[in-house]
Amino acid sequence: MQPPSVQDLNPAGRAVNHSRRDTFRILYFYPYVNFDTGSPKAMVQFIQTLDTDVFHPMYCAPGPGPLTAELAMRGVEIVHGTADSINFRNPLAALAAINRQSKLLKSWRVDLLHANSFVWNTDLILAAWMLRIPVILHVHNPLDVEYRNLARFAARKVLFCSQFEMTNCGHLERIAGKAEVLHNAIDTQAFGQGRSIRQRLGLHNDEIAIGTVAQVTHRKGIDLLIETARILLRERNDLVFLVAGPYSEVDFGQRMLAAAEAPELMGRVRFLGARSDIPDFMASLDLFFLPSRAEPLGLVVLEAMASGVPVIASKVGGIPEILTSPDIGRLVDPVTPDRFADTIRDILSQPDVRRSMGEKAKLELVGRFDLRTGGERLKKIYVDLLRR
Strands (DSSP E) found in the chain: 24-29, 55-61, 77-80, 112-115, 135-139, 157-160, 179-181, 208-213, 239-244, 269-273, 287-290, 311-314, 330-332
Going from the N-terminus, what domains does the chain have, and what CATH number goes with each?
Answer: 6-185+370-387 (3.40.50.2000), 190-364 (3.40.50.2000)
Q: What is the pLDDT of residue 18?
A: 32
Beta strands at 239-244 and 135-139: parallel, antiparallel or unpaired: unpaired
Q: How far is CA 270 from CA 295, 300, 374, in A?
A: 23, 19, 35
Q: What is the pLDDT of residue 13?
A: 41
Give the global pTM.
0.91
Give the helix/strand (H/E) hosting 359: helix 351-364
According to DSSP H, which parts of 87-246 are helical? 91-108, 123-130, 151-154, 163-167, 188-192, 222-233
Q: What is the pLDDT of residue 75?
A: 94
Q: What is the pLDDT of residue 23?
A: 92
Of 176, 146, 243, nearest to 160 by C-alpha is 176
Write out residues in the chain with pLDDT < 50, as ranges. Answer: 1-21
Contacts of 66 (CB under 8 A, 6+ apart): 33, 34, 35, 36
Q: How far is CA 376 from CA 48, 231, 351, 382, in A?
A: 12, 45, 37, 10
In tens, the pLDDT along 99-154 reads 999 999 999 999 999 999 999 999 999 999 999 999 999 999 999 999 999 999 99
Of 49, 52, 28, 50, nearest to 39 by C-alpha is 28
In tens, the pLDDT along 55-80 reads 999 999 999 999 999 999 999 999 99
Q: What is the pLDDT of residue 323?
A: 98
